[in-house]
Structure 1
Amino acid sequence: MFSNILSWWKSKLIINVDNPLEASKRMINNIESVVGIRDTFGDEKNKKNFTIISILSTIVFCGGFIYTGPFSQGVYFFQVLPDKINSFQAMNCFSSTCVPLSKFILMYCSRTRLSIIMDMSREGLQAIPKGSSAHSTMMKTIQKAGYVSWLVILNQMFVHVSYLLLPFLMTIFGNNRYLPTTPGGIYGIPSKYESPYYEINFIVTTIATTFSGINQTGYIVLFVTLVGNELGHFYAICETLNDIHKILYNNTQHNEEERNNCADSKQTTALSDSAFAEDKHKKIDNMLRFCVKHQQFLFRYHEKICELYKVIFGAHFLIMIIVLVTTLQTMNSWGLMNTILTGVTGTMPLIVYCFGGELLLTAGSDMSYGIYSCGWEAMEIKHSRMVQLMLCMSQHPLCYTAAGIFIMNHDTFGNVVQVIYKIYAVFN
């Protein structure tokens, strides 16, 4: 029974061994359909993208989130504007709620671009020869991205369920009523803790939190999937270059084995050496052509991903700075639970972006090193020139940027932390 369950899990969910790309798409589609986004990748071109259920889901979840978050906290901000601490609290909550809303807008409006990217992902995967070490490496990388996606799902579930469950348990077992922390009440509900307003508050907040958790989960899983695919292409090229190096420098031992298997006649030995050299030449030629073409494909693929994320990376970069600055400003006046929650919410997207960008830069460096050390000095002139072309192209590293300005890597994250602390020091 356990083996049957495991087989179903592998065949239906995101770690599908045979077709992990389609499994990832299905998982993201299922997540986003809960909040009203149908056909995230534009596959059903001849069908309606809207249904009654999807429209109702969008109204209930997205509408409830906007009303509870950006709208209500924006109104509260103008009400408490002269007060420094309350203004920072309202700004903090308003900025935090803009992050999941911007992710929803991106997922809702990017159907065409995602369709092109997924078609290119399929094209790139099919271009890698099946049965080769490059194809095996590519599949392993995509499967690892699938495992990471499941960790993201579990993390989002834990964070958002805890956010709702703790106030609920404190209300049941305590003497007072508690709500998930927001600086101001929901607009139009005069009291937070008196019935029936408390119950209404809790229901609306639960709807908003559910929307935030589900939508952000789908967004992060998509990002992990695309990064995993892009890294897989880097690793596939590196693995092919390693195979070329093995063919070039392991041929001496292979020649000796061939000679031992051949007859003693000099003519047979010469023919064997000639056939082996010709076979080696063809293998290297095919592998190098694959590397050149796949590197060009990788540049086009990366460009499409950057076009998708460039604007939202820039917006999140700015919003995260506001969230973290206001979190520090309200740390002593707003409760430990809310400070931790908003701090984690504020830093998580930036950490994910910078970590993914750092992996991409590292993979690019590894590919450059693999190109240089593939054994070009032992190749024919034609093949050496192909390696030289790849090496020239690799001198322009592929990276993710925020609004085309800031490179998303570990150094950028460290610089942001320093700037945030300086701003905090100025205000205090």
Structure 2
Amino acid sequence: MSQTNEKTRSKVTCQIVTCGHLATLLYFFKKYKRKLYMPNENPIEEAKKIISGIQQFVGIRDVFGDNKELRWSPLSVVGILVSWCVGVAFLYTGPFSEIMYLVSVFPDKVDSFKAVNLISATCVPISKYIFMWTSRNRLKTIMKMSHEGLGVLPEGSPARARMLQTLHKAQGVSWLVILNQAIVHIGYLLLPLFLTVFMNGRYLPTTGESYGLTPKYETPYYEATFVITCVATAFSAINQTGYIVLFVTLVAHELGHFYVITETFNEIYKLSSATRENDDLRKEIDEKLTFCIRHHQFLIKYHGKISELYQAILGAQFLIMIIVLVTTLQTMYYWHFSNTIITGVAGIMPLTIYCFGGELIISTAENMSEAIYSCGWEMMEPRQARAVGFILCISQRPLHLTAAGVTTMNRDTFANVVQAVYKIYAVFN
């Protein structure tokens, strides 16, 4: 009877927290919508400042390789040492504790699945931290190309306006990501404290069963353990926030270049009907076609850099997240309801973000190809029509993000993963 009441109370608590989270996001979005989308003179540098500012809290000072000679002040050294200590705390409360737990409970099926689930879930933020540490040179090249791509767009043109609009929206989405991460993790930390104070029991902000060599509720230093867990959670939240904002920013930059070419061909369509009677319009179409050919070549190189950057990390996390989802289903009847929700969301949300971003790139590329085909090439001169056909042929080459160069990140992949996870669950049960 008590277990039933506890499960009911947990479900109600989760529902209240979820509703409060959504209501808070909507409130802040409505209140600060104009500020989030406020135009900046240089949105690329503004995005870099946001990401660099976040990563400084976890000891990564030069994310984009802009500073060839970093100045190491005593305060910066202390900050990096503190961030590394926080990282060690995360390793202790996460993978280390769960590996020790796995050794102690193996070969018990349910408990082993619990341990593997948590080891996998905590490996996701670690892989993101390693990625942010090791991507400095590649990010420097990509951001340099972003400046070049924005610089070639004519001032006052619809294409440049569309590009800036896309970058400004990405900035707004980035702030919403930061706000979402802050609300989720603050609630994640405050809820156990609230339950501890008012429910006459010990609650910790973790889903694990142990801390190192001792069970989590039997440790004689409960208060110290609570603080260590909070610090480790903050480290994970900050690092993952910077990673997600970077992913959103780079995907938006690539989408912006697709929009530039699409917008230019829409302009060509408006001019194509009058080309036979106006030599100036034919010359203008020639210039726009030349620009589109060159910019599409630039887009292919730009996409190649982003795809190369994310190929390994997406492959690693794709495999880890499948393990998280499989083990979550295996333990959903034996674990606390809130544990299942937390680990399930931890596995499904990154996969959703990657597949949604990859799907946006694919669908935007298809819209660009449609704009090229519908530009009115049948009313142009043969030389111009051949140029359109050339761009159309090149645009048929699929541009997409892949996990380890094997799996395309799109909505079909998301659906296939869900089906595969359920099949594995059915085999084990």
TM-score where L is the length of structure 1: 0.89
Superposed, 1:139-218 pairs within 5 Å as 139-188=164-213, 190=214, 192-193=216-217, 196-218=220-242
Alpha-carbon distance in 2 for matches of 1:246, 1:213: 49
30-39 or 146-155, which deviates more: 146-155
Aligned to 2:87: 62
Aligned to 2:53: 30
Q: Is 1:327 aligned to 2:352, yes or no?
A: no
**Which of the numbers 252, 259, 273 marks the counterpart of 1:235?**
259
Alpha-carbon distance in 2 for matches of 1:53, 1:372: 58
Aligned to 2:64: 41
359-368 or 372-381, which deviates more: 372-381
**Which digits, 9 at most, give the CA deviation of each residue in 1:39-60, with x for residues without a partner?**
1000111225894134213322
From the superposition, tell whether residues 96 and 14 of structure 1 become closer, same or farther in structure 2 (CA, over 3 Å): farther
Alpha-carbon distance in 2 for matches of 1:302, 1:156: 28
Instruction: Tell whether the 8 Å contact from 1:324 to 1:346 is kept in structure 2 after alignment.
Output: yes
Matching residue's letter, 1:21: I
Matching residue's letter, 1:55: I
Aligned to 2:3: none
Instruction: Tell whether the 8 Å contact from 2:206 to 2:229 is kept in structure 1 after alignment.
Output: no
Alpha-carbon distance in 2 for matches of 1:38, 1:251: 54
* Percent identity of paired positions between Structure 1 and Structure 2: 56
Q: What secondary structure sits across from 1:82 in the alignment?
A: coil
Matching residue's letter, 2:152: A
Aligned length: 396
From the superposition, tell whether residues 158 and 250 of structure 1 become closer, same or farther in structure 2 (CA, over 3 Å): farther
Alpha-carbon distance in 2 for matches of 1:211, 1:58: 8
Q: What secondary structure sits across from 1:181 in the alignment?
A: coil
From the superposition, tell whether residues 348 and 280 of structure 1 become closer, same or farther in structure 2 (CA, over 3 Å): same
Aligned to 2:400: 399
From the superposition, tell whether residues 133 and 92 of structure 1 become closer, same or farther in structure 2 (CA, over 3 Å): same
Superposed, 1:402-413 pairs within 5 Å as 402-413=403-414
Alpha-carbon distance in 2 for matches of 1:156, 1:393: 40
Instruction: Tell whether the 8 Å contact from 1:73 to 1:90 is kept in structure 2 after alignment.
Output: yes
From the superposition, tell whether residues 385 and 173 of structure 1 become closer, same or farther in structure 2 (CA, over 3 Å): same
From the superposition, tell whether residues 236 and 405 of structure 1 become closer, same or farther in structure 2 (CA, over 3 Å): same
Instruction: Tell whether the 8 Å contact from 1:191 to 1:198 is kept in structure 2 after alignment.
Output: no
Q: Is 1:246 aligned to 2:246, yes or no?
A: no
Matching residue's letter, 2:374: S
Deviation, 1:181, is 3.0
Aligned to 2:4: none
Alpha-carbon distance in 1 for matches of 2:179, 2:346: 15
Aligned to 1:73: 98
Aligned to 1:307: 308
Alpha-carbon distance in 1 for matches of 2:273, 2:164: 27
**Which digits, 9 at most, give the CA deviation of each residue in 1:316-354, with x for residues without a partner?**
110011000111111111111111111111011100000
Alpha-carbon distance in 1 for matches of 2:279, 2:380: 13
Instruction: Tell whether the 8 Å contact from 2:332 to 2:340 is kept in structure 1 after alignment.
Output: yes
Matching residue's letter, 1:391: L
Alpha-carbon distance in 2 for matches of 1:299, 1:92: 38
Instruction: Tell whether the 8 Å contact from 1:138 to 1:233 is kept in structure 2 after alignment.
Output: yes
**Which digits, 9 at most, give the CA deviation of each residue in 1:154-180, with x for residues without a partner?**
111122112111111000111111112
Q: What secondary structure sits across from 2:211 in the alignment?
A: coil
Aligned to 2:360: 359
TM-score where L is the length of structure 2: 0.89
Q: What secondary structure sits across from 1:182 in the alignment?
A: coil
**Which digits, 9 at most, give the CA deviation of each residue in 1:270-325, with x for residues without a partner?**
xxx6xxx2210221111111111110000000000011000011111100110001
Deviation, 1:16, is 4.6
Q: Which runs of 4+ in 1 moved over 6 A?
A: none
Instruction: Tell whether the 8 Å contact from 1:86 to 1:183 is kept in structure 2 after alignment.
Output: no
Matching residue's letter, 2:125: P
Deviation, 1:196, is 4.8
Deviation, 1:194, is 5.5
From the superposition, tell whether residues 15 and 211 of structure 1 become closer, same or farther in structure 2 (CA, over 3 Å): farther
Alpha-carbon distance in 2 for matches of 1:57, 1:420: 39
From the superposition, tell whether residues 86 and 49 of structure 1 become closer, same or farther in structure 2 (CA, over 3 Å): farther
Deviation, 1:397, is 1.2
Structure 2: gaps (5+ residues): 1-30
**Which of the numbers 95, 109, 120 marks the counterpart of 2:120?**
95
**Which digits, 9 at most, give the CA deviation of each residue in 1:343-381, with x for residues without a partner?**
111011100000001000001101111111111111122
Larger radius of gyration: 1
